[in-house]
Amino acid sequence: MNLATLYRWRGALMATGVALLAAILRLASLSDPHALVFDEVFYARGAYSLTELGYEGDWTGDDSAFAQGDTSGLQTDGDFVVHPMVGKLLIALGIEIFGNDPFGWRVVGAVLGTLTAVLVALAARRLFRSTLWGGVAGVLVAVDGEAIVLSRTAILDGYLAFFVALGFWLLVVDRDRTRARLETRVAAVRAESGWGDDAPVPGLGPATGVRWWRLAAIVAFALAGSVKWNGLYFAAVLLVVSVVWDMVARRELGCERWFAGAFVRAVPAGLATLVIVPVVYVATWANWFLTDGSYDRDWAATHPGEGVTWLPDSLNSLLHYHQQMWTFHTGLTTEHNYMSNPFLWLIQWRPTAFYFEDVPDAACGAERCVSAIHALGNPFLWWLATAALAWAVWRVIRRGDILALSVSAGALAGWVPWLPYAYRTIFTFYTVAFMPFMVLTLVWALRRIAQPDELEGGWSRRGTIGVGCVLAAILILSGLFLPLWVGTPIPFRYWQAHMWLPSWI
């Protein structure tokens, strides 16, 4: 294979490299630890219940028995669960294919976590017009601690991150394809009218046809909201960003009424969103509708005249169930050792310890050995990304930087809505949902340092060296923290050496 062929296939080779790195870090020793890790006690058992009963049944007995294959605690009474179905259905898919063991209930999340890294790499490649920077973004997602831990545990937030990343990538593809189509049609209008290449195009500008990629993105965001409700925040913000992209394209291509043109063309997408999202969401509850044992399935029938009576009983019951879920979420203030303040999430101030157990001394050859899993993002990556996010927001406000908006909007959409709920029992690992955008924002900043605007695509020697040192430090730190992300038996002193802040213990 010659260099020309390698260059032609550079995008595929980059994506393959990112996928291999991410897959190794997510799939290796996936069955360890052979125990329910943190909230797997809810989601793995709920997923197994879906495979056996078709709905989520209640459980009794010792939680640890489930990891040893004892499922006798499953009851036929419906369990009151407080999150939608999609994440648990995907966990159930792994159990159905590979069996009810740690590998079975974690493998789908590991695969989707791998794909998340690839999607971020592909989106970055389009945003930055660079295979190199796309690869950097993909590698940073592949080696981040939050991404690794949530991909290796049967917990919903990793699934949410995948569907958000998928929706964003689809929007970026839609942006590029729509702009190319718009350029062609604007050129055709000018040619037909005998105008010059720079002549303004009167009116709203030409239509661009059905936006199938954007419709697919809406479906992806609907599935994100069907994993956890906060996926809908990403849908709202990122779909608005896609309209901003349209406005910029129409303005740059010379459409006189570019704002109105983009707004009018966005109306069908807005209407489609209002239809697609609830339809997809309700459809993901199909097993709840089709099984008699589901929690509150027959509430409307046993409470005639209550609720929204003009709805069919099944939908009235589902709505009542969701009202209970909403009450639970907004009122959840139970103290927890690892609950964290969302104002400090970006700097990973209070990471969540998913698992911590002493193991036999022979496991690591030290006087005391432990196996630990901490949902802690790579500290250098997150601290630098937080600074980059502040810079990006400043660039948007002061300079109207559309690329800065494109990479930072998702981070803000995933973080800011949690700030009013600082009183709630919430955790730092929720940040994995917007981790892809923190990475994209950091790469945006590193690119500006290595290739400053004044060089018009050229490379700054000092900037490139500095960026190289930063990336090397992030990779080295990921290697040092990896045992604390995958549960490898380590000396207790090694664990202590990685507890940099008192709030991490």
- The SS3 call for residue 264 is helix
The answer to the question of residue 436 being in a domain is yes
Task: For the chain, report the end-to-end CA distance as a whole number of angstroms.
Answer: 52
**123-172 pLDDT tens trace:** 999 999 999 999 999 999 999 999 999 999 999 999 999 999 999 999 99
Beta bridge partners of 491: 369
Q: Tell me, yes or no, whether 412 lies in a domain.
A: yes
Determine, yes or no, domain membership for 246: no
With a pLDDT cut of 90, the percent of the chain lying above it is 81
Q: How far is CA 318 from CA 87, 289, 300, in A?
A: 18, 9, 9
Contact 353, 373 (CB under 8 A): yes
Q: Could you tell me if 143 and 377 are in contact, meaning their C-beta atoms sit under 8 angstroms apart?
A: no
pLDDT at 1 over 60: no
Q: Measuring CA to CA, how many Å separate 382 from each of 196, 261, 316, 341, 416? A: 49, 39, 44, 16, 16
pLDDT confidence band for 2 (50 / 70 / 90): low
Instruction: Answer whether residue 6 is part of any domain.
Output: no
Q: Residue 203 carries which DSSP code?
A: T
Is residue 8 in a domain? no
Q: What is the pLDDT of residue 494?
A: 95
pLDDT tens digits, 422-456: 999 999 999 999 999 999 999 999 999 999 988 88
121: in domain: no
Residue 30 resides in a domain: no
Domain that holds residue 429: 342-505
For the chain, how many structural domains are there in total? 1
Residue with tokens 């630990």: 372
Given a cut of 70, whether residue 238 has pLDDT beyond it is: yes
| Letter string b/e over residues 475-490, b meaning 16 or more CB atoms within 10 A of that residue's CB | bebbeebebbbbbbbb
**What's residue 13's pLDDT?**
92
Q: Answer whether residue 293 shows pLDDT above 70.
A: yes
Q: Inform me whether the pLDDT recorded for 3 exceeds 70.
A: no
Residue 108: count other Cβ atoms within 10 Å of its Cβ: 24
Identify whether the C-beta of residue 440 lies closer than 8 Å to the C-beta of residue 127: yes
Q: Cβ neighbours of residue 12 under 8 Å, at least 6 residues apart? A: none
Structure tokens at 357: 């157990």
Please write the tens of the pLDDT for every residue from 465-504: 999 999 999 999 999 999 999 999 999 999 999 999 999 9
Query: pLDDT-based confidence at 195, cuts 50/70/90?
Result: confident
Q: Does 11 reside within a domain?
A: no
